[in-house]
Amino acid sequence: MKQKILKCAIVSLCLLVSGVLFAQKTITGTITDEAGVPLPGATIIVVETNEGTTTDFDGNYSILASDGNTIDISYIGYTKQSISVADGAEFSVSLQPDSLDEVVVTALGIKRNTKALGYSVTQVGGESVSQVKSTSALQALQGKIAGVQVTGNATGAKGSTRVIIRGNSSLTGNNMPLYIVDGIPIDNTNLGSAGVWGGADGGDGISAINPDEVESISVLKGGAAAALYGSRASNGAILITTKTGAGVEGIQVEISSSIQFDDIKNDPFDPQTIYGQGRDYSTTSDTADTMAAWGPRMDGSSVEQWDGVSRPYSYTGNNMEKFYRTGQTLINTLAVTSASENQTLRFSFSNLQNEDIMPQSDLARNTLGLNATQKFGKFTLTSNVKYIYDDMTGSPRLSDAPGNANFHVRMLAPSLDIMDMQGPGGYGTNLDGTEFPASDSVFFNNAWFSAYQYVDNSVRERFIGSVNLRYDITDWLYTAVKYGTDRFDRDRTFSEPFGTGYKPLGGINESKQTREQRDLDLFIGTDNLEIIEDFSLTAFVGMNENYTKFEQTSGNGNDFIIPGLSDIKNTVGQSVGYNFSEREISSVFGSAEFGYKDAAYLTITARNDWFSTLSLPGKTTPNDDLYTSASLSLVLSDLLSLPEAISFAKIRAGYSQVAGGADNPYTLSLAYGIYGQGHEGASLGRVNNGSIPNANITPFEKDETEFGFDLRLLDNKYSIDFTYYDNQTDGDIVGVSASNTSGYGSALANLGQISNKGVEILLNASVIDKEDFGVDLFFNYANNESEIVSTNDAGTNISMDEPRPRNLRVTHIVGEQYGALFGTSYNRDDQGRIIHNIEADGTPIAQVGPRKILGFGVAPTSLGIGSTIRYKDFNFNFLIEGKSGGQIYSGTDQRMKYHGLHKDTIDADGRENGFTVSGVDAAGAAFTTTITPDRIEDYWRNTYNIAEEAIQDVDYLRLRQLSLGYNFPSETLEGTFIKAAQIALIGRNLFFLKNAADNIDPESGYNTNNSQGLEYLGMPIPRSIGFNVNLKF
């Protein structure tokens, strides 16, 4: 009986199972995005059976299901959709973007859902970059990303940009982030900058990227975000993704044109215009000193001037407006894109023509770009090619006076006219082509001569290319190989012309520089693999080989033989130079992201780098370093039942350890080279090392912890993103004291320590969101508190650069913020009163006091406030940006006081009645006295040696950019060949809302290295106003 019952049960079960199986059918379809582009890796799950699959690279899927079953379809960054199986077997779905599931580009170019990230990443869209164009795409990031300080300089349109993420990591090494373009690291070397003796900014690598080509810029701020890039990203990473043909139907042609005009209307330079040229309150004591404004009040009388010609003793007008021209930047871009089921293509050509405000300073840039993707079954081939040709002429000299036209035009006495100084030969020359002198010192060059006769020209050709081949082994497993290269060749000619005042026979230098970088990556990984129910894994492992090479040849010639022929072969003394270096880093890396119910994510990464720069036979310390990171993201709004007002809530935390600083080759042992031009037919050799080699050097370690949350309210209309971070650099490579008998000034050691702690806040609000009217606001704030924990074995100061008066140095001091301005002060008594020496006639002269901390050159606080307003087809955008808490040494301000141009050198009742000074004498007795008019000059000229007199706060708030645009309605364009058209009025650096600095723009530094807070008679930072036009066909 039991056997009969068992047989019946088995038969019934078989019938039931076979019935179910016969009821199932194969369901197929294609999953695409809102633009119809296939979505590979989308998850397909039958709810009733929990069977699942993923789409292939073409977005296709196939799965068994029965009528009445529900199929859930999901993809990162898109709203999940459900379909009910009914009649038919083909179900294709177009997913829509989910505002709560935003996708950003992260390390190694991998796109990830923001809710899965346990660290802070900020992504800026390409439209924000190209909205108000400039000669450098990075300048568009100013004020838009909390924790990222983007600083321009007073170096002109061709100048470099300094970008610092979450503070400085190294005392003397590189603090700039790693730049990645379409997955390939690129070179961002600064090609020269001004120093204590002057110089010019030759630009950097990233400035060559065309703003019109940018699809998005992702900033990986913390170590957990950038750890996969290893030591090269110890300062963070900036990922630039350029546009492709994705999302385009058929063939599309796009033309973008922008023209902007630059002027100096907003330059804060504001000298006194009451007292004219002269010395000792006289117009006759020294007429040759054209930069001395210590004469009497201008009265219109006829006086003999510097060139022996009598002219009215009157204010001649704004010499800066006469000398600087209206700058112009024209950017035209043509792009052709096409897309089909298995192919995307985008080709672009861009031409940039810039005429800087400095006469004879121009930039011409041509850029070719090609992005292509081709699918071959399970293979996908992606290639990116960029060719950039830069032609730069007349790079302006800065800082010290020789060759610096800004120096002469700014410091000219107000009764003198810069137009009178063009000379009989024109453009600052005599009839024989030599310099037409316009001051009493040969080192104070005529501004016209500096601008028109000096030669500083360069041509740079650059090729950036990459190819990426991916093979989808299964619907959940892939492998890929990627190769990329970045190479540029730069030819530069610099010449001090024949007839230069301080160098009468002139000289010339020509150089050719080549930099090359190659990267090879191999990957194998899985995307969103469901391990068990509710648990997913996204992981990959890989290896990287990085090689960089630098090579330079140069020729130098002094004393031209034939005037006017600028050729090295036309010089009396000639010499040549050669420089070469190379470096290699080999790496293995891996990442694993564990997900739970799409609401909790744990990500772990590891990378090990092996350095050629740390490899030496017999070396006892390792030549490699392992760094790891771990980050956690918990989406509370998916895990818990929260109030209805909370649309999304996430908390995150991350820890990372990265390394860096092992950039320089040939520091482990003595390196030798050929020196000079030889002696009596024999070559001369020398040791090239500047410090004692240390074979046991290791990379510095940088540990970082960060916590944060992302909260969005009222259907995502309001949001706040908050981050706190704490990072510390240990073992920074610094110089330590060495015995004088060694012949070296220092030795290298891993002794530096720096701490950075800070907060980052980003607020967004959609205040109004109607069909024809909308107002969006954003606010970001960041504050970074830095501290120098250790400098070297003795804890002594590390001195960096100094300005031309040599009364101050940027200095790293234990226990203080990064980059102290350490200089001479006023000598004061215990009550803070200035001590003076009293001269025989009773004139007080302030005593020069000891060097001390006068300020800090890096502003700790930055903020940005912006809004987008739309009304029907109009749109209006603005950005207010500012910094606070920093100081600057202003050489312009100190020079103005030295030359009598500063308004502080004039009492309220004028110089006629003298100048009142209070303080104490050398014996400590208090006094108040009035200096006679002819001695006011002596009082102020003696303050030139006191750096404290030139320190200024650089708190500012300015209208950084503005755009007013109009999108032509589609019905207006109907019947034409134009698909879309937009026109916009644009502006940049329009005006200050606040500027604590006197007579200078707060961003008037002359270099982008670690010596921030130094200003010395640089270029005016112009206001730009222009138009954008964009057409699509």
Of 622 and 307, which is predicted with more confidence?
307
CATH code, 73 = 2.60.40.10
Structural tokens at position 484? 């990329």
Mean pLDDT of 694-701: 88
Question: What's the pLDDT tens digit per position in 562-577?
Answer: 998 999 999 998 999 9
Task: Inform me whether the pLDDT recorded for 16 exceeds 60.
Answer: no
- One-letter amino acid for residue 718 of the chain: Y
Mean pLDDT of 500-525: 96
Task: Inform me whether the pLDDT recorded for 280 exceeds 80.
Answer: yes
Question: What's the pLDDT tens digit per position in 155-209?
Answer: 888 999 999 999 999 999 889 999 999 988 999 988 888 999 999 998 898 888 8
pLDDT score of 510: 96
pLDDT score of 141: 86
Mean pLDDT of 369-381: 92
pLDDT score of 303: 96
Question: What's the pLDDT tens digit per position in 577-586?
Answer: 999 999 999 9
936: which residues sit within 8 A by CB, 6+ positions away? 281, 294, 900, 905, 911, 914, 915
169 SS3 class: coil
- Would strands 199-200 and 956-967 be described as parallel, antiparallel, or unpaired? unpaired
686: domain range? 181-265+326-403+454-819+857-886+954-1032
Task: Inform me whether the pLDDT recorded for 14 exceeds 50.
Answer: no
Question: What's the pLDDT tens digit per position in 473-512?
Answer: 988 899 999 999 999 999 999 999 999 999 999 999 999 9
The answer to whether position 273 is within a domain reads: no
Mean pLDDT of 719-744: 86
pLDDT score of 854: 98
Number of domains in the chain: 2
Instruction: Examine the domain organization and report whether 86 and 221 are in the same domain.
Output: no
Instruction: Examine the domain organization and report whether 75 and 224 are in the same domain.
Output: no
Structural tokens at position 539? 């992981």
The answer to whether position 285 is within a domain reads: no
Neighbours of 510 (CB within 10 A): 17
978 SS3 class: coil
The pLDDT-based confidence of 771 (bands split at 50, 70, 90) is confident
Of 773 and 71, which is predicted with more confidence?
773
The pLDDT-based confidence of 253 (bands split at 50, 70, 90) is very high
Of the listed ranges 410-424, 685-699, 828-842, 956-970, the one predicted with least confidence = 685-699
Instruction: Examine the domain organization and report whether 864 and 1006 are in the same domain.
Output: yes
CB 419 within 8 A of CB 412: no
Instruction: Examine the domain organization and report whether 90 and 186 are in the same domain.
Output: no
Structural tokens at position 193? 């900058």
The pLDDT-based confidence of 23 (bands split at 50, 70, 90) is low
Question: What's the pLDDT tens digit per position in 103-154?
Answer: 777 777 777 788 888 888 888 888 888 888 888 878 888 888 999 999 888 8
Task: Inform me whether the pLDDT recorded for 726 exceeds 90.
Answer: yes
Which residue, of 74, 94, 114, is where some domain finishes? 94
pLDDT score of 487: 96
CATH code, 488 = 2.40.170.20
CA distance 72 to 44: 6
Which residue, of 30, 64, 94, is where some domain finishes? 94
The pLDDT-based confidence of 11 (bands split at 50, 70, 90) is very low
Mean pLDDT of 32-39: 74
Of the listed ranges 95-109, 656-670, 893-907, the one predicted with least confidence = 95-109
Instruction: Examine the domain organization and report whether 75 and 200 are in the same domain.
Output: no
pLDDT score of 1028: 94
CA distance 63 to 91: 11
Mean pLDDT of 289-304: 96
Mean pLDDT of 879-907: 97
Of the listed ranges 242-246, 416-420, 543-547, the one predicted with least confidence = 242-246
Instruction: Examine the domain organization and report whether 557 and 699 are in the same domain.
Output: yes
The answer to whether position 1017 is within a domain reads: yes
Mean pLDDT of 303-311: 96
What DSSP assignment string belongs to 812-866?
Answer: E-TTS-SSEEEEEEE-B-TTSPBEEEEPTTS-EEEPEEEEEEEEESS-SEEEEEE
The answer to whether position 408 is within a domain reads: no
- One-letter amino acid for residue 493 of the chain: T
Mean pLDDT of 754-766: 96
Instruction: Examine the domain organization and report whether 366 and 228 are in the same domain.
Output: yes
Task: Inform me whether the pLDDT recorded for 12 exceeds 50.
Answer: no
Task: Inform me whether the pLDDT recorded for 88 exceeds 90.
Answer: no
- With a pLDDT cut of 90, the percent of the chain lying above it is 66
The answer to whether position 100 is within a domain reads: no
pLDDT score of 742: 72
Task: Inform me whether the pLDDT recorded for 79 exceeds 80.
Answer: no
Neighbours of 314 (CB within 10 A): 17
Instruction: Examine the domain organization and report whether 210 and 75 are in the same domain.
Output: no
Neighbours of 926 (CB within 10 A): 11
Instruction: Examine the domain organization and report whether 351 and 249 are in the same domain.
Output: yes
Instruction: Examine the domain organization and report whether 513 and 652 are in the same domain.
Output: yes
Instruction: Examine the domain organization and report whether 83 and 225 are in the same domain.
Output: no
- One-letter amino acid for residue 849 of the chain: G
pLDDT score of 76: 62
Read off the pTM: 0.89
Structural tokens at position 741? 């008998």
Task: Inform me whether the pLDDT recorded for 268 exceeds 80.
Answer: yes
The answer to whether position 702 is within a domain reads: yes
The pLDDT-based confidence of 7 (bands split at 50, 70, 90) is very low
- With a pLDDT cut of 70, the percent of the chain lying above it is 96
Task: Inform me whether the pLDDT recorded for 37 exceeds 80.
Answer: no
Output the CA angle 11-16-17, nearest 5 degrees.
100
Tell the residue number behind the tokens 């929990």, with chain if given.
50
Of the listed ranges 18-27, 427-436, 514-523, 672-681, the one predicted with least confidence = 18-27
Which residue, of 32, 60, 94, is where some domain finishes? 94
- Would strands 1014-1015 and 887-890 be described as parallel, antiparallel, or unpaired? parallel
Task: Inform me whether the pLDDT recorded for 3 exceeds 60.
Answer: no
944: left (phi over 0), alpha (psi -120 to 50) or beta: alpha
pLDDT score of 696: 86
- Count CA atoms closer than 13 A to 40's CA, side-chain side: 21
pLDDT score of 884: 97
Instruction: Examine the domain organization and report whether 202 and 337 are in the same domain.
Output: yes
Task: Inform me whether the pLDDT recorded for 399 exceeds 60.
Answer: yes
Of the listed ranges 98-112, 426-440, 653-667, the one predicted with least confidence = 98-112
Task: Inform me whether the pLDDT recorded for 663 exceeds 90.
Answer: no
The answer to whether position 936 is within a domain reads: no
The answer to whether position 151 is within a domain reads: no
pLDDT score of 19: 40
Mean pLDDT of 585-600: 93
CA distance 53 to 83: 15
pLDDT score of 681: 72
pLDDT averaged over the chain?
A: 90
Of 107 and 655, which is predicted with more confidence?
655
